Chains A and B, each alone.
Chain A
Amino acid sequence: MPVNADFQGRVYPPTETYRVSAAKIREFAEAVGSSDPVHVDADVARARGYADVIAPPTFAVLIAQQCDAQLIRDPEAGIDFSRVVHGEQRFTHHRPLTAGDAVVGTLHVDTVREAGGHAMVTTRTELATEQGEAVCTATSTIVIRGGE
């Protein structure tokens, strides 16, 4: 089933608020092996000028993938999740995600294209606080493998 090219350019409404917690930051930092105490020790974080403990650089994927799910689970998009492979990922941090942040994600479908029998979809999630402060731009390209 081909991916629906009409989805290119689509922008989804902002998601429900995601609240960044110190506990989730610690859990994520331990899982990727980031031993910087700035993830777990609020005193260290404040001494470096942050409001509270901060997330590792790839933590935003956790929120961005929840945003991507809006597209992937949309039956009209025609994406077979069992054939999805992660092709590329990029983050631009306007500032680190910080414990206590209440962020919403806005999903943009930047490109939908076919190449070599596969479909490639690039999405961009703009993460901002509820007050509208830009925090992170997460760009992801997924490859939907074609039938054999």
Chain B
Amino acid sequence: MSTESSTGSSTGSSTGSDTAAAATAPAPAPVRAFSGVSVGDVLPPLTVHVDRARLVQYAGASLDRNRIHWDEPFAKQVGLPDVIAHGMFTMGSAVTLVTDWAGDAGRVVEYGVRFTKPVVVPYDTGADIEVSGVVKSADPQTRRVTVELTATSGGEKVLGRALAVVALD
């Protein structure tokens, strides 16, 4: 396990003083240019596989340790079909489609979803979440683009009204 400071940069920059690090700082990855984006553009789709281990990982990272996300007998006792994924796991993993496309995770200025159905996560197989996205609007004044996301699992739509607004260059 690496420490917080040794981030394993793949850029080959030398370690040392701040000055040296600045001199060899990697060129910023290009952020998608607004001029190249049109309404109706389809973003590359994404499949997120989620199993119990992933939910335990998310529970720890997010501090949402609700038992319905990892304890199968408990989930069934409260009337659920099985363990279900955190809605926020689905929301958080789905938006990586947008941040990868935009080129910088810091460009998401608004993001909202409705949780329409739970993602059921069986012990044996886990579950797949299929995510797709399309550009719904683009504002040349602000260079902000609205992407509508669709996320399904087991044929059911798990997110509704899922809109992310990204500020492009």
Chain A residues within CB distance 8 Å of chain B = 21-24, 26-28, 30-44, 46-50, 54, 56-58, 61-62, 65-66, 82, 85-93, 96, 139
Contact = CB atoms under 8 A, between A and B. Distances in A.
B75 to A, nearest CB: 11
A101 B47 CA distance: 33
Give the residue among B26, B89, B105 with the most A Cβ atoms within 10 A: B105
Contacts of A58: 88, 91-92, 95, 111
Given A32-B92, A32-B93, A86-B88, A48 B112 contact: no
A92 B111 CA distance: 7
A15 B112 CA distance: 24
B168 to A, nearest CB: 13
B115 to A, nearest CB: 5
Interface residues of B, number: 47
Given A50-B106, A57-B111, A65-B64, 11 more contacts: A28-B62, A30-B57, A37-B10, A43-B9, A43-B26, A47-B25, A57-B95, A65-B63, A90-B110, A91-B108, A93-B110
Contact of A46 (B25, B62, B93, B100): B25
Nearest to A42: B7
Chain B interface, DSSP helix/strand/loop, else mixed: mixed
A96 B106 contact: yes
Contacts of B105: 34, 36, 38-39, 54, 56-57, 96
Contacts of B87: 86, 89
16 contacts: A26-B4, A31-B54, A32-B58, A32-B92, A33-B48, A38-B105, A40-B8, A43-B25, A44-B28, A58-B111, A61-B92, A86-B115, A88-B115, A89-B91, A92-B110, A93-B108
Contact of A22 (B4, B26, B60): B4
Interface of B: 4, 7-11, 13, 21-22, 25-29, 31, 48, 54, 57-58, 60-64, 78, 87-89, 91-93, 95-96, 99-100, 104-106, 108-115, 164
| A-B pairs with lowest CB-CB distance, top 7 | A90-B112, A32-B92, A31-B61, A58-B92, A96-B106, A57-B108, A36-B105
